[in-house]
Amino acid sequence: MTPDPRRHEAPAPPTSRPGRRPDESMTLLISILERPLDPGYATAADRREAAGLPRSTGTRTVTVLVATIVTGLLLSLGALALRRPSTSVQKARAELISQVESRRSAVDRQSAQLHTLQNQVDSLQAEALTAGQGDQAKQRLAVLGLAAGADAVTGQGIRLVIDDAPGSDAGSADGNPRTQAKSEDGKVLSKDLQVVVNGLWQAGAEAIAINGQRLTSQSAIRFAGEAILVNFRPLTRPYTISAIGGSSALQSAFAETDAGSYLRALQDNYGIRASMGGVKSLTLPAAASLTVRSAKVPRPTGPATPSSTPRSSTTTSESSP
Amino acid sequence: MIPLLGLVGGVLVGLLWGPDVPLFLQPYLPIAVIAALDAVFGAVRAVLDGIFNDKVFVISFLANVVVAAFIVFLGDQLGVGAQLSTGVVVVLGVRIFSNVASIRRHLFGA
């Protein structure tokens, strides 16, 4: 082993007989583990030594430069090409997020536009009504607009805040189906809100909004997954129901309805929190979307009023959502 | 010095030029990178051993890359591409590790 250039080889275990190793059958593993260096280097060095040259060519040659450039290129290309999948996922994500944001801002823009257009319609309507023989029609329009939820309303009223039973969130967080089932009991359901709202209508409320969503004859209170939707907008708890009406009369009348006892049962049996209070001045916004389903031109009143009829046609006497 | 300059230059060219690797070459890229790394570490060790030879370096580099790519290609044709890739990675990885260990002994004497 003396002039061997492969001097980094591990020496054979001392227990073995010379020339024969106990792990001789595992030549592949031995050659991988003990001779990691390309044997070509050693033989080339031996050849150069025999020819009288220094053993190493040195690293200052054009070949080395070219080879290292190619190696660096390969490394960076590999890094770039193999990192691309994750960046494309991020790109798709960013694109989706920007799409969501742009759509959202478009919705905001359009609802602002809708609002100004509605104001225009209102002022034109008022103009048309004053021009013609409008007094009766104007009064009728005001009443119908109130009932239909087309106009914002301000007045005395009550505010009813309903919330899930305390601790119903903590139960659902651990993902255990049993505790989840228990916590479901303490949750306010869409049905509860429906019953309460119908009770308020029954008690004589003139206008109702839940969390700022004005209820009209076409509003639906329904469930979508975990969330309660009103006017197709998801609501978050607590649910604040604002109702316009004589506050003390409304409160006592509501307590006497079936909905009042239903709400008390919810409080007693499921721990759902509810608090009711009179408010001196409540303002309910106009409903976001009123569409004309049917319209007709009134015969005897003349040409000045048709603009009022589409609005009134959205109203029905049916007041439950 | 020259090899280091070459490496840095190559990396810069790759980053700035950044050509797209054709899709049919992409499966071989990781293996080719590992084979190139193996050749580089082998060369560093040969330099430290005092037996470096540029021709051997270039040939071992090219041969490593080509053979590794060929093994993966063969594996793909036989339906065991992933397993053969793993095999190549294990063998080259072991070689890289023991070469690096030897370089470490040269540089730090431990």
Spell out the SS3 assignment of A199-262.
HHHHHCCCEEEECCEECCCCCCEEEECCEEEECCEEECCCEEEEEECCHHHHHHHHHHCHHHHH
Verify whether the Cβ–Cβ distance A38 to B42 is below 8 Å: yes
Is A75 in CB contact (< 8 Å) with chain B? yes
In this prediction, residue A103 carries a pLDDT of 93
Q: Which of B6, B45, B91 lies closest to A65 in CB terms?
A: B6
Quote the ipTM score.
0.79
B18 interfaces chain A, CB cutoff of 8 Å: yes
Contact check, Cβ <8 Å, B59/A42: no
Instruction: Encode chain A (321 residues) as per-residue pLDDT tens digits.
Output: 444 444 454 554 555 456 666 777 767 677 766 766 777 788 888 888 888 777 777 777 888 888 888 888 888 888 877 776 666 777 888 899 999 999 999 989 998 998 899 889 888 877 877 766 667 777 777 788 777 777 788 888 888 888 887 765 544 444 444 444 445 677 888 888 888 888 888 888 888 888 888 888 878 888 877 788 887 777 887 888 888 888 788 888 888 888 888 888 888 888 888 888 888 888 888 877 677 778 888 776 545 444 444 444 444 444 344
The torsion angle over the Cα atoms of residues A67, A68, A72 and A77, rounded to 10 degrees, is: 0
**Helix ranges (DSSP H) in chain B:** 2-17, 29-49, 54-78, 81-108
Chain A residues whose CB is inside 8 A of the B57 CB are 63-64, 67
Residue-wise pLDDT for B8-26, tens only, equals 888 888 888 877 777 777 7
Task: Report chain B residues whose CB lies below 8 A from the CB of A59.
Answer: 2-3, 47, 52, 54
How far apart are the C-alpha atoms of A216 and A311, rounded to whole Å? 13
pLDDT at A301: 54
Round to whole Å and give the CA distance between A120 and A150. 14
pTM of the model: 0.43
Q: Where are the domains of chain B?
A: 27-108
pLDDT tens digits for range A247-295: 788 888 888 888 888 888 888 888 888 888 888 888 888 877 677 778 8
pLDDT at B69 over 50: yes
Chain A residues whose CB is inside 8 A of the B46 CB are 37-38, 41, 56
Counted residue by residue, chain A has a size of 321
Put simply, the answer to whether B51 touches A44 (Cβ < 8 Å) is yes
Distance in Å, alpha carbon of A97 to nearest chain B alpha carbon: 27
B26 shares contact with chain A (CB less than 8 Å): yes
Closest CA to B1 of A45, A65, A66, A69: A65
Among chain B residues, CA nearest to A36: B95
pLDDT, residue B13, reads: 87
Which residues in chain B touch residue A64, judged by CB atoms under 8 angstroms apart?
Answer: 2-3, 6, 54, 57
Confidence (pLDDT) at A172: 44
Q: What is the CATH number of domain A132-290+304-313?
A: 3.30.70.1880
Q: How far apart are CA B42 and CA B35, in angstroms?
A: 11
Does residue B36 belong to the interface with chain A, where contact is any CB pair within 8 Å?
yes
Q: Looking at A27-41, A177-191, B73-87, B91-105, which range is the least confident one?
A: A177-191
A208 is written with which tokens? 């109702």
- The whole-angstrom distance between A43's CA and the closest CA on chain B is 9
Q: What pLDDT digit, counting tens, does each position of A62-95 carry? A: 888 888 888 888 888 888 777 766 667 778 888 9
Q: Do A81 and B26 touch (CB under 8 A)?
A: yes
State the count of interchain CB pairs (< 8 A) between A and B.
Answer: 163
User: What does the pLDDT read at residue A18?
Assistant: 60
Interface mutation target, options A76, A82, A83, chain B, most CBs of B under 10 Å: A76
Domain regions of chain A by residue span: 132-290+304-313
- Is the preceding peptide bond at A234 cis, omega within 30 degrees of 0? no
| Predicted pLDDT at A306 | 47
**For B25-64, what is each residue's pLDDT tens digit?**
777 888 888 888 888 888 888 888 888 888 888 888 888 8
Sign of the alpha-carbon dihedral angle for A224, A230, A234, A238: negative
Is any Cβ of chain A less than 8 angstroms from the Cβ of B40? Answer: yes
